[in-house]
Amino acid sequence: MDMVTTPVQFLDGGLGTSLEDKYNVHFSETTPLWSSHLLLSDHGTLKSCQRDFADVPVDIILTATYQVSAEGFQRTRTDSFPGGVPHAEIPPFLDVAVSIAEQVKQPATKIALSLGPYGAVMTPSQEYTGRYDDQHDSVEKLFRWHADRLSLFTSIPRLGSRIDFVAFETVPRLDEILAIRKLTTLLASQSPDATVAGPLERTRYWISCVFPSTGQALPDGSSVSQVIRAQLSLEHSDNPPWGIGINCTKIAELPQLVRAYEVSVRLLEEDNQLQSWPSLLLYPDGTNGEVYDTVTKTWKLPTGLKEAAEGPSWEQQLDDVVTQARSRGCWRSIVVGGCYTYNNAYKLGSVHDAKLTIPLLKLTYYYACYT
């Protein structure tokens, strides 16, 4: 595949910071479901925010389920559920998440079921550090947690025909990647354990990882080559992901990370451990020198830094990365989005039309991630 034939698609940018900045929604430890809290409290605002992305239009829209978990619902106190939301009452709220995505999307837009890592449901969140508790520190323990979380969705009516992808996002640990691969084996399995996957059988999925520091390593220290082997190798599952990605990572790190991804995928190919090249998903954070505070869940400039760094704009940098990746012609397709804080409308048309010659990219696009 070459630059002319490598498709580029838009992924939405998420919800959390858009809800905060545009819709004046506030989150705290009393709202452990974060943007998913609006599934209980304010369907109208959630729908308006997701429509902002859908109206671009984007090619793939994520459901408001990134931080969904049984634990999060149990810690959520509302007038209707003063003692927390019991397990049996959770599925109808998840049905609302899918329904809202269906209602706001354009006819050709695909829906991805957004699922964050275990670290996203911890307090404070740990998807940037991967520092998990003892009950979630192995492949088997994380497999069981992900399986239990996925089972919350299996009673949603006709779920398999209503979504197009399952998105495992912001994964910070190698053992969690392997747990997800084990889980996704059930998406293509007829074994008794496959009931956890239920209506999601044969649904395409992607795994996107976070690289919060320099050095091309996950927070747990795993190298890119280890990450790629865990994500794609047939030794771990005969149901490889449709796509692999990098999200919530500083944009300056993308060029070297994408090249390292390509080198590692090619090595798997040479080792006969690859069915075919996957799609590449890139949705870096929109920061420009800011650092994420996991306690306040806000972005702040480090002490002593009074203003953001100067240089090429965020969208110019992302355009360059995508253009270079397309020119090498490796990937099935490239999906482009944004993550964290990038919550203003930006016109990408002139930059992308000049370099990528894709009319679809003449869009005004919201970048704001933290579903």
DSSP states along 162-224: H-SEEEEEEE--HHHHHHHHHHHHGGG--SGGGGGTGGGTT-EEEEEE---SSSSB-TT--BH
**pLDDT (0 to 100) of residue 360:** 35
Structure confidence by residue, pLDDT tens digits, 184-210: 988 766 555 556 666 787 899 999 999
pLDDT at 178 over 60: yes
Which residues share a beta bridge with 204? 165
pLDDT at 71 over 70: yes
Cβ–Cβ < 8 Å for 27, 34:
yes
Identify the CA nearest to 125 among candidates 254, 343, 369, 298: 298
pLDDT at 215 over 70: yes
pLDDT at 167 over 90: yes
Q: How far apart are CA 367 and CA 150, in angstroms?
A: 27
Average pLDDT rounded to a whole number, residues 304-311:
59
Q: How far apart are CA 64 and CA 52, in angstroms?
A: 14
**pLDDT (0 to 100) of residue 357:** 40
Average pLDDT rounded to a whole number, residues 74-103:
97
**pLDDT (0 to 100) of residue 21:** 83
Return the ∠ at Cα 74 (arms to 28 and 36), rounded to 5°. Answer: 50
- Assign 40 a pLDDT band (cuts: 50, 70, 90): very high
Give phi and psi for 360, each to the nearest 5: -55, -30
If DSSP codes are grouped into helix, strand and coil, which group holds residue 113?
strand
Average pLDDT rounded to a whole number, residues 270-289:
88
User: Which comes out higher in pLDDT, residue 134 or 199?
Assistant: 134
pLDDT at 289 over 60: no
Question: Widest CA span of the chain, in angstroms?
Answer: 58
Cβ–Cβ < 8 Å for 150, 196:
yes
As a whole-number percent, the residues of the chain with pLDDT over 90 amount to 68
CATH of the domain spanning 8-366: 3.20.20.330
Average pLDDT rounded to a whole number, residues 64-79:
97
pLDDT at 281 over 60: yes
As a whole-number percent, the residues of the chain with pLDDT over 70 amount to 80
Identify the CA nearest to 58 among candidates 7, 12, 107, 6: 12
pLDDT at 349 over 50: no
- Assign 13 a pLDDT band (cuts: 50, 70, 90): confident
Q: How far apart are CA 119 and CA 67, in angstroms?
A: 9
Q: Where in the chain are the domains?
A: 8-366
The percent helix, strand, coil of the chain (3-state, each to 5) is 40, 15, 45
Average pLDDT rounded to a whole number, residues 151-169:
95
